[in-house]
């Protein structure tokens, strides 16, 4: 089977394509590319054949075609068709219409969901674009060619045709894949203004695919990064998860900082990172992200709550110190800091409460883990989020906070037998550890009766 390089050398066609050229698409026949039906999920094949047999056009499109050509396993399979959403919905029993801005159909086979989209026309009509140039309505159906030009990057606009198994390329995606380039389709500024989230997607694809940005696609990001502040916080939450749970979070994070995009997502943390570039806040965050990447690589579960706890730790920690300096006791001081930082953060990235509640637990466990006298250590150990709190303590200790002794104590305590645990707690009294000694209750003398 031919490699991408060979496909490209065989098909020496124009590499820089423009929408106005009305050029015929590059069509790579089955014999000259590597995608075989055995790599496509049975569910996606059923949808493609179902549409084809009903007389419609049907293509695999987007990330799945790109990933298969690069030799990666696709995360999911998306289908594009000339059938309307209603027609698709009628054709497949287990399907439903979804979406507000874009109408799509989800077809379900077992656990798998195949997203089927009708070809879309470009958002040319003025009423579809707001003052910033952002697309507000985009549900006009179009042709395959129009659908290709309205996609984001050339490498995401390749279509696998179920009729003859060829790949159709209107925008130069094959050439860009071959050159390892992520190139925005069309005029870069217009396309970023239409949908600023494309800047985040560009960065995600560098991390995920190891490709580089085309010069113009790269150049405008720092200038336009601010446009992200107009994007709904719920959408930025979805994108943040994709960015940070991609398995390449450490690299992706550095890129987001480099291009000024992190500032728009997590402004409180970004401000601190700007002033303390090589200090503890950055070290802790990168280490947390490296751990996350490792866990994903090993197929272990990762919780977004831990990730957000790490990203927001430094603003929380600094506010916590300020509150303590105002004589607020440690735990309420931390709770107050957490509330302030979270309520500011969710204005930008709408982290759902089910995650922020756990992030808070992780933070509040930090001072609690210092208090080990009496029953306190046993209570912390029984806390439902103990493991995450302990992992967070380790992270802090490994990245420069003077907590090694405490972290080692907990490492030992949680695996010790109960009588050993009791001994460990008692030993704290003699070493002076354990933060506060249990206060002895003084017996009050009965007040002398006045005569």
Per CB under 6 A, contacts with ligand ATP among 26-55 are: none
CA distances from 295 to 73, 249, 423 (A): 19, 11, 34
Count of chain residues binding Mg ion (CB under 5 A): 1
In the list ligand ATP, Mg ion, none, the entry touching 103 (Cβ below 5 to 8 angstroms by class) is: none
117-121 long-range contacts, CB within 8 A, separation 24+:
117/78, 117/79, 117/80, 117/81, 118/80, 118/81, 118/82, 118/83, 118/84, 118/85, 118/88, 119/80, 119/81, 119/82, 119/143, 119/144, 119/146, 119/147, 120/146, 120/147, 120/150, 121/146, 121/150
Q: How far is the CB of 353 from ligand ATP (least distance, A)?
A: 25
Return the number of the residue (63 or 315) whose C-beta is nearest Mg ion: 63
Scanning 123-131, 194-202, 279-287, 352-360 for contacts with ligand ATP by CB under 6 A, the matching segment is 194-202
Q: Which residue has 């439903």 as its token pair?
A: 96
Site pattern 251..290 for ligand ATP (x: CB under 6 A): ----------------------------------------
Residues 312-351 interacting with ligand ATP (rule: CB under 6 A): none
CB of 78 to Mg ion, least distance (A): 6
Stretch that binds ligand ATP, among 152-160, 214-222, 295-303, 388-396 (CB under 6 A): 152-160
Please report how close the Cβ of residue 140 comes to Mg ion at its closest, in angstroms. 22
Interface with ligand ATP (CB under 6 A), residue from 95, 118, 154, 156:
156
- How far apart are the C-alpha atoms of 2 and 33, rounded to whole Å? 6
Distance CA 437, CA 428 (A): 9
Residue 63 in the binding site for Mg ion (CB under 5 A): yes
Residue 76 appears among annotated catalytic residues: yes
* Residue recorded with tokens 């026949």: 29
Does 75 engage in binding with ligand ATP (CB under 6 A)? yes
Report the residue number, 44 or 369, with the smaller CB distance to ligand ATP.
44
Is 78 a residue that touches ligand ATP (CB under 6 A)? yes
Catalytic residue, from 67, 78, 147, 214: name it.
78
Phi, psi of 214 (to 5 degrees): -65, 150
CA distances from 224 to 118, 194, 238, 291 (A): 30, 11, 20, 31
Please give the full DSSP string across 398-413, using - where no structure is assigned.
Answer: HTTSS-HHHHHHHHHH
- Provide the minimum distance between the beta carbon of 87 and ligand ATP in the complex, in angstroms, as a whole number: 20
Does position 195 interact with ligand ATP (CB under 6 A)? The reply is yes
Number of residue whose CB is nearest ligand ATP: 63
Q: Tell me how far CA of residue 243 lies from CA of 138, 220, 364, in angstroms.
A: 25, 20, 27
Catalytic residue among 67, 147, 152, 195: 152
- Tell me how far apart the alpha carbons of residues 306 and 389 are, in angstroms, rounded to a whole number: 9
Secondary structure E strands in 212-338: 212-213
Among 28, 44, 48, 63, binds ligand ATP (CB under 6 A): 63
Kind and range of the H or E run holding 18: none
Q: Is the dihedral of CA 245, 135, 151, 45 positive or negative?
A: positive
151 is a contact residue toward ligand ATP (CB under 6 A): yes
CB atoms within 10 A of CB 360: 21
DSSP letter for each residue of 26-72? EEE-GGGS---GGGS-HHHHHHHHHHHHTT--EEEETHHHHHHHHTP
Q: Is 62 in the site for ligand ATP (CB under 6 A)?
A: yes
Q: What is the 3-state secondary structure (H, E, C) of 178-222?
A: HHCEECECCCHHHHHHHCCHHHHHHHHHHHHHCCEECHHHHHCHH
Neighbouring C-beta atoms of residue 130, cutoff 10 Å: 13
Q: Pick the piece of the chain touching ligand ATP (CB under 6 A) from 136-144, 150-158, 164-172, 233-241.
A: 150-158
Our answer to whether residue 176 is catalytic in this structure is no
Closest to ligand ATP by CB, 151 vs 193, is 151
Among residues 198, 287, 360, 372, the one that binds ligand ATP under rule CB under 6 A: 198
- Judged by CB under 6 A, which stretch of 31-39, 151-159, 341-349, 399-407 contacts ligand ATP? 151-159
152 binds ligand ATP (CB under 6 A): yes
Helix (H) / strand (E) element for 374: namely: none
Contact 169, 185 (CB under 8 A): no
Q: Is 123 in the site for Mg ion (CB under 5 A)?
A: no
Task: Please confirm, yes or no, whether 78 is among the known catalytic residues.
Answer: yes
CB of 76 to Mg ion, least distance (A): 5
Residue 195 binding partner per list Mg ion, ligand ATP, none, with a CB distance cut-off of 5 to 8 Å that depends on partner kind: ligand ATP
Q: Which is nearer to Mg ion, 62 or 196 (CB)?
A: 62
Q: What, of ligand ATP, Mg ion, none, does residue 197 touch, CB below 5 to 8 Å by kind? A: ligand ATP
Helix (H, G, I), strand (E, B) or coil at 273: helix
Least distance in angstroms from the C-beta of 337 to Mg ion: 38
**In the complex, which residues of this chain contact ligand ATP (CB under 6 A)?**
62-63, 75, 78, 151-152, 156-157, 195, 197-198
**In the complex, which residues of this chain contact Mg ion (CB under 5 A)?**
63
Catalytic residues: 76, 78, 152
């Amino acid at each position: 089977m031919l490699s991408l390089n060979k496909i490209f050398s065989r098909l020496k066609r124009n590499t820089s394509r423009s929408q106005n050229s009305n050029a015929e698409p590059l069509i790579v026949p089955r014999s000259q590319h590597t995608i075989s039906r055995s790599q496509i999920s049975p569910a996606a094949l059923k949808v493609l054949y179902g549409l084809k047999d009903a007389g419609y056009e049907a293509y695999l499109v987007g990330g799945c075609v790109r990933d298969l050509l690069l030799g990666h396993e696709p995360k999911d399979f998306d289908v594009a068709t000339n059938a309307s959403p209603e027609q698709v919905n009628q054709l497949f029993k287990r399907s439903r219409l979804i979406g507000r801005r874009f109408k799509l159909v989800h077809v379900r086979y077992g656990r798998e969901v195949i997203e089927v989209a009708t070809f879309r026309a470009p958002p040319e009509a003025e009423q579809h674009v707001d003052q910033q140039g952002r697309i507000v309505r985009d549900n006009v159906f179009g042709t395959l060619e129009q659908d290709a030009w309205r996609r984001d990057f050339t490498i995401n606009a390749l279509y696998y045709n179920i009729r003859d198994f060829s790949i159709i390329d209107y925008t130069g995606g094959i050439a860009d894949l071959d050159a390892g380039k992520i190139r925005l389709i069309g005029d870069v500024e217009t396309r970023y203004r239409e949908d600023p989230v494309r800047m985040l997607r560009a960065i995600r694809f560098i991390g995920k695919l190891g490709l580089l940005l085309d010069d113009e696609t790269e150049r405008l990001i720092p200038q336009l990064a601010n446009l992200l502040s107009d994007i709904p916080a719920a959408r930025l939450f979805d994108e943040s998860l994709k960015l940070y749970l991609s398995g390449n979070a450490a690299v992706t994070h550095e890129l987001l900082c480099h291009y000024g995009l992190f500032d728009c997502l997590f402004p409180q943390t970004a401000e601190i990172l700007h002033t303390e570039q090589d200090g503890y806040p950055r070290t802790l965050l990168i280490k947390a992200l490296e751990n996350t990447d490792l866990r994903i690589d090993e197929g272990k579960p990762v919780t977004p709550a831990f990730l957000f706890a790490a990203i927001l730790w430094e603003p929380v920690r600094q506010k916590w110190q300020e509150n303590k300096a105002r004589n607020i006791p440690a735990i309420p001081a931390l709770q107050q800091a957490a509330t302030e930082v979270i309520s500011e953060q969710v204005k930008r990235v709408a982290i759902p409460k089910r995650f922020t509640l756990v992030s808070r637990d992780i933070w509040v466990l930090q001072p609690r883990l210092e208090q080990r006298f009496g029953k306190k250590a046993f209570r912390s150990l029984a806390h439902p989020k103990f493991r995450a709190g302990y992992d967070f303590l380790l992270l802090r200790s490994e990245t420069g906070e003077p907590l090694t002794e405490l972290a080692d104590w907990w490492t030992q305590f949680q695996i010790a037998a109960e009588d050993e645990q009791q001994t460990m707690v008692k030993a704290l009294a003699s070493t002076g550890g354990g933060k506060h000694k249990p206060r002895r209750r003084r017996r009050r003398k009965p007040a002398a009766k006045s005569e």
